[in-house]
Amino acid sequence: MKIQFIFILLLVNFLVACATTPTGRSQLAFMPDDKMDAMGLQAFDNLKKEKAISQNNRETQFVQCIADAITQNIEGDWEIVVFEDETLNAFALPGEKIGVHTGMIDLVDNQDQLASVIGHEVAHVLSKHGNERMSQKMGVQMGMSLITAVAAPQTAMGQTAISLLGVGAEYGVIMPFSRLHESEADILGLELMAKAGFNPRESVTLWQKMAQASQGANPAEFLSTHPSHDTRIEDLQAQMPKALKLQQQANAAGRNPRCMK
């Protein structure tokens, strides 16, 4: 009876937490938005205390110009910070925060390539991927607890079953969803940059440059939380006709960013 109650409770939580991403995919998001925003704000404050912030006004204005163009039609007041860091990285956090490393600025050739990166990171936030990842982890942990209670963990067989489920949860649930998140952010990010008037074709060039910069250091795709560069480029090219139409509409409406590196 107790087990039945637990499963009913899980079903209720599933229905309550069910949401839809901007691309139309159903997702589980247990955490309240205000809690996610608070965590994002705290994380960003910590980063600003721990990492050096760029004093290069030209670089900062370049990033700010691109981020403003992408977020102008998105709700909220986004804060953008450039961090002195040679790694190829950028991120966005709940609470409307965007961080870009100087290494990423050095890599790109133009505004459109960096716009593809920033659009991708903002897409993660708009799609509530951080919330979903936390919810996935919570769900896996809860499932492990139930199996521990039901599968007689005091036996060798029970211990083996739990350890196997742990591996399955890592490679069969969490990591594939992370690749899904990345692919989803690529698609939505492409739309965001195109709607802002940037050239979406440069997203393909950007990932070609990223592939070259990685110099074959990527792990096998099925063990990676990111799609392979080739997969990512193929997916972007498949979405390109739609993105180019969005760019044309944006340009016709007067959205023609001029962000100089």
Q: For residue 6, tell me if it sits in a domain.
A: no
The position carrying tokens 């007067």 is 254
User: Which pLDDT tens digit goes with each residue over 138-162?
Assistant: 665 555 554 554 345 455 544 443 4
Q: For residue 5, tell me if it sits in a domain.
A: no
What pLDDT, on the 0 to 100 scale, is given for residue 130? 82
Mean of the pLDDT values across residues 11-21? 53
Q: Closest Cα to residue 66, out of 103, 23, 121?
A: 121
Q: For residue 180, tell me if it sits in a domain.
A: yes
Residue 144 CA, distance from chain mean position? 26
Mean of the pLDDT values across residues 176-186? 82
Q: For residue 170, tell me if it sits in a domain.
A: yes
User: Which pLDDT tens digit goes with each residue over 65-89?
Assistant: 999 999 998 988 999 999 999 998 8
Confidence of residue 174 (pLDDT cuts 50, 70, 90): low
> What are residue 173's phi and psi, to 5 degrees?
-125, -65
Q: For residue 18, tell me if it sits in a domain.
A: no
Q: Closest Cα to residue 226, out of 78, 33, 89?
A: 89
User: Residue 59 corresponds to which tokens in the numbers above?
Assistant: 């670089």
What pLDDT, on the 0 to 100 scale, is given for residue 106? 96
What pLDDT, on the 0 to 100 scale, is given for residue 5? 41
Q: For residue 110, tell me if it sits in a domain.
A: yes
Mean of the pLDDT values across residues 55-63? 97
Least confident range from 13-17, 87-91, 139-143, 211-215: namely 13-17
Do residues 32 and 137 make contact, with C-beta atoms less than 8 angstroms apart?
no
Task: Say if residue 54's pLDDT is above 50.
Answer: yes
Relative to beta strand 79-83, strand 97-101 is parallel
* pTM, to two decimals: 0.81
pLDDT greater at residue 93 or residue 134: 93
User: Catalytic one among 79, 84, 86, 121?
Assistant: 121
Domain membership of residue 51 as a residue range = 33-252
**Is 84 designated active site?**
no
Q: For residue 258, tell me if it sits in a domain.
A: no
Alpha helices (H) in the chain, listed in sequence order: 2-17, 33-50, 57-71, 102-107, 111-126, 129-150, 156-169, 175-195, 201-214, 229-252
How many domains would you assign to the chain? Answer: 1
What pLDDT, on the 0 to 100 scale, is given for residue 249? 98
Mean pLDDT, the chain, as a whole number? 80
Mean of the pLDDT values across residues 88-112? 94
Q: For residue 25, tell me if it sits in a domain.
A: no
